[in-house]
Structure 1
Amino acid sequence: MEPWFADAKPINSLEPEIAFHLWDAFNAAPYQRPEPLALPEFQRAERLRVRTSEAIGHEAELAAYYGQVAALARQHALKLHQVRQYFWMDLRLDNEEADVHLSFPWYDTFSSMDHFLVAVAGHDEGNIYDDQDQGWAVEVWARNGTLYIRESDPDSEEPGQAVALPRAGLQARIAPLRERTAKLVARLASELGADVWTTGEAPSFP
């Protein structure tokens, strides 16, 4: 049992969600005038962020947006690694009522997020997940049906944010999220001709 378990905030659940980041302009190079990108018009909570739950039924519109990005990249002879930011995703775990918001700022591809989701969805006990990168760290422990999750800054003396919640509730939400995201990525990859969301790596734009 870790010392910080005693200070973990007890909550009843967390809502996991993955989202696609949008940009309203394409910058081919520094000091060049940005070229506008037409954003999808379907309803969503944030203008420049599309949650997977919001994208269902609007796959064609989202694919058309990414088609603009790919076309501009080809027009300016840019490789995928030069425009990776236009295909970023993010993972968040939220409980609005408890004002708990956990983020994974260094995870911008589905595969990087899926390592965490698979670990939580499994049945291992003890320290089931641990990662850190540049001013951010997360650790997850499973003990007797309870998950203890702490997000912190390893370079700071502050304790960070720690929560304790029933494991089963979060597990039940992870399966549909993974399935939904995989289907969306497959559809977008089919439309674009390359999967640039799963690992962030692709030979080139078609």
Structure 2
Amino acid sequence: AAPRPRCCSTPRLLWCACAFLARVGTMAALRSLAVLVAAASLIACAHAGDWPACQQQNTVVRSGGQALFANLQGYGATIGCFLDDCMSSDKFVASEIESCAKVCFSLPECTHWVWGTEEGEQKCWFRTGDAGREAGEGWISGGKGCHPPGTQALIMGNSECWAEGFGYEQCCKAEMGPNGNAQCWDGVYNYDRCCFPKEEL
């Protein structure tokens, strides 16, 4: 009979695998062990994306040529934007870190978000890559897949205003001027009511 392998002090999963190896033989046990390792890896990957465990603490992603300038006003951003223009900005003042994750999830080109402080205000930043990643005390960053459970893409503007043929793209885009598309408005619906979400971020 083949010598029994020595089962030393190991974590429980490896101990079980070691005991199994001693009982049923090397080749069969190795095949089973490979299955166990693969399953454990899948479980670890699933937990890595859990909120808030997926947040990367003390990590900032600088622009590095990958700042994502987008219309953040349509998602509820009103202050703290680049040059005070929230219709073309890579950042805004937010009340909670969840806002960063939700907006990044809603922006097709966003791959990473950052949460940190600028001039005494908490802000979100958005990136199209992580080439500018570096250590940063107090900063938090995350990938597009790092978001609270159940997160869905945000609707731009006030969803109560939109019907067939009338939406943010048709009524509120910057090139339509400061009051949007006049053909969208009547005595009930107007730019201020429809082109901003009911709640700020």
TM-score normalised by the shorter chain: which range applies? under 0.3
Greater radius of gyration (CA) = 2
| Higher RCO, Cα 8 Å, sep 6+ | 1
